Amino acid sequence: MQQVIGRLVAILDVVTGENQRGTWQRGGFVIEVGNDYPSKIAFTTFGDNIGLVNEGMLGRTIQVTYRAESREFGNRWYTDLKALRVGMYQAVDAPAPAPVAAAPAAAPAAAMPQDNELPFDI
């Protein structure tokens, strides 16, 4: 499983169908990732996972846990990103830097020479 964080930009329509096991439902959603050159990633949801996102989440930053799966059909390969979990993303504040230990107290400065004293021999 992998995770990605992005802004929810679209919720895809639910499609239903029938197969030998009964009725199925497929939905999905799209997130946008990246700052300078954003790209979009589409995820697929099936059955109970169709409700992972809702209209109230549009425009919000979410974290998606997903599984990538590829399959072959007619000599061509197709890849699905199947969303397994979705949660609202909460940015974690960076921990405050550790306080810097105070420097040890400096030794007292040597007394400055008086006008009639020179700090060196002549």
Residue 13's pLDDT is 94
Residue 105 in this model has a pLDDT that exceeds 80: no
Residue 39's pLDDT is 95
Give the pTM. 0.69
> Nearest to residue 48, comparing CAs of 67, 68, 25, 23?
25
- Angstrom CA distances, 39 to 43, 86, 89, stand at 13, 19, 18
- Which tens digits make up the pLDDT trace of 56-88? 999 999 999 999 999 999 999 999 999 999 998
Ordered domains of the chain (ranges, CATH): 2-88 (2.40.50.140)
